[in-house]
Amino acid sequence: MQLAEHADAAPVTNGNIKVASSADGALTVTAVDTGKTLFTTKTTFSATSHLVPAGFKAIDFSMTAGDKDERIYGLGQGNWTGLAGCASGVPQVVVPLERNGQTVELLQRKFHVTIPFAYSTAGYGVVFNMPGYGHVVVGAKGEGGMDWKADAALALDVWITAGSTPGAVYEQYADATGHAPPLRENAMIFWQSRNRYMSSEIALGVAQHYEQLKLPVGVIVIDYKNQHHDGDWAPGPECFPSVKALATGVTKAINATTVFSFWPEVKTAANEYAPLKAAGCLINSDLGGFAFDSTIEKCRDMVWTQYLKPRYYDQGVTAYWLVSAAAPFASSFDEAQSRGCTG
């Protein structure tokens, strides 16, 4: 369902959903198979803050529950920790599966992975298909409903589905958003990672020890700071003299995959900074360098064909850990901190 500020919301039926409008612009969404009202909605477009460029509007998409006893699930894994995660010293809290009574920020940051999809026990699912910042307020038990807000947008895009079982709703959600390919077999076995393996020698020693213990391992992760500077996209040769020898050695020892992590930052001191900047592939100077813009096809091709494929894939590394974090977390690691082969 797509709504704009002045959209014609005439009654319409699609699959198991019927949508009717009222004179005040509210919409009533009903399940065709049961005739029950799932929710009613009201959309408000308003002025944004002075920080938002002209032409954008703030949007409030309010959903009033048809079944006030509905339980709401989903929305990813946000709200269990502070901005900087475990590094901040904030006591860890387990988020309950049930989201009633919570307010969830619609943004990504370290340890806060938001998925703007919610499932209701009333028999429907909703995707708030909006980029940018915002939040959702989930109604408390006995109240139900949801109130979705986007801080800056040009229009509202919401996807809704209904089904007689939770499985039906989730199948339709997967059909709409895409089906994940099956995991390769070794990715379903234990992943060995730590902060962090500083050299090929250390990682190979861990693999050989697992072989001695006869314990199954599917993946060994060579995490952040394996490069001289974020954006080099090549491990430091003094600590990782041969990517091929490392990948081959891990496979030989325990038949596991070697994974290297990459961050999107491209620091000004990185070898690849100048060519990527010249190609127009860097954005967001707030990172103390720039970020690689993966939305541009020529930039994706450049990074893959010139850097990652010859330096990793062709050397036997066929799986990658693509990570990032909020700027305060990332900047807490000084560029020179923990660079080296031991620690």
The reply to whether 305 falls in a domain is yes
Output the domain CATH number for residue 125: 2.60.40.1760
The reply to whether 336 falls in a domain is no
294 within 8 A of 262, measured Cβ to Cβ: no
115 within 8 A of 128, measured Cβ to Cβ: no
Strand partners, 124: 120, 162
| Boundary-marking domain end, from 161, 177, 193 | 177
243 within 8 A of 317, measured Cβ to Cβ: yes
Per the structure, the count of domains in the chain is 2
What amino acid occupies position 269? A
What amino acid occupies position 187? A
150 within 8 A of 136, measured Cβ to Cβ: no
| Boundary-marking domain end, from 177, 204, 231 | 177
| Boundary-marking domain end, from 157, 177, 197 | 177
Average the pLDDT over each of 24-33, 55-64, 326-335 and give the range with the smallest value. 326-335
The reply to whether 339 falls in a domain is no
Do residues 301 and 155 share a domain?
A: no
61 within 8 A of 128, measured Cβ to Cβ: yes
Q: What is the mean pLDDT of residues 253-278?
A: 93
Query: Which 8-state DSSP code applies to residue 87?
Result: G
Spatial distance between the Cα atoms of 250 and 204, rounded to a whole number of angstroms: 6
Domain span at residue 107?
2-177
**pLDDT tens, position by position, 133-184:** 899 999 999 999 999 999 999 999 999 999 999 999 999 999 999 998 888 8
| CA neighbor of 229 nearest in space, from 200, 268, 276, 284 | 268
Is the N-terminal amide bond of 196 cis, ω within 30° of 0? yes
* pTM across the whole model: 0.72
**Could you tell me which residues come within 8 angstroms of residue 213 by beta carbon, excluding any fewer than 6 positions away?**
none
The reply to whether 111 falls in a domain is yes
Report whether pLDDT(327) > 70. Answer: no
Do residues 147 and 261 share a domain?
A: no
**pLDDT tens, position by position, 281-314:** 999 876 667 889 998 999 999 999 999 999 999 9
Per-residue b or e along 246-285, where b marks 16 or more CB atoms closer than 10 Å to that residue's CB: bbebbbebbebbbbbbbbbbbbeebbbbeebeeeebbbee
| CA neighbor of 203 nearest in space, from 267, 269, 252 | 252
Output the domain CATH number for residue 245: 3.20.20.80
- Give the pLDDT of residue 305: 97
